[in-house]
Amino acid sequence: METEKTEHGVVENWTPQETKDAFERGEIILIDVRTPQEFALERIDGALLAPMQAFRPGHMPSQTDKRIVFHCGSGVRSGKVAMHCLASGFDRVAHMKGGFAAWKGAGLEYTGTDVASGAPKAMRKSD
């Protein structure tokens, strides 16, 4: 994991594999900041949705038991949300570098939409 010091605190940039491993161990809360439409189409199972357009840092769970890691489509929105959290008093936040595109690019499993039926389907980038 890379870290970046800002004027308000530290942003951790996690790789998709680091995120997946910590998520599977139950060490983090993964929060998707994409739109509800993007989330409905494809998502990481178990991630919570908190769209950037309605995001309020004060409504986030505490990080006492588990770290929060934000993600979006490319890492841009989750980076902005991370900075917003730091400016609102968080001392350290994390986001997944490269976002959902990097997750899929790494061949990690996600839930997508079966184009034939419209039903949710477990997928990897090669699907």
CATH number where 80 lies = 3.40.250.10
Per-residue pLDDT, 126: 58
Domain count, the chain: 1
For the beta sheet containing 92-96, the strands, ordered from the edge strand earlier in sequence to the opposite edge, are 2-5, 10-14, 92-96, 67-71, 28-32, 48-49
Per-residue pLDDT, 78: 96
The residue range of the domain holding 14 is: 2-123
Residue 9 binned pLDDT confidence (cut-offs 50, 70, 90): confident
pTM of the predicted structure, to 2 decimals: 0.91
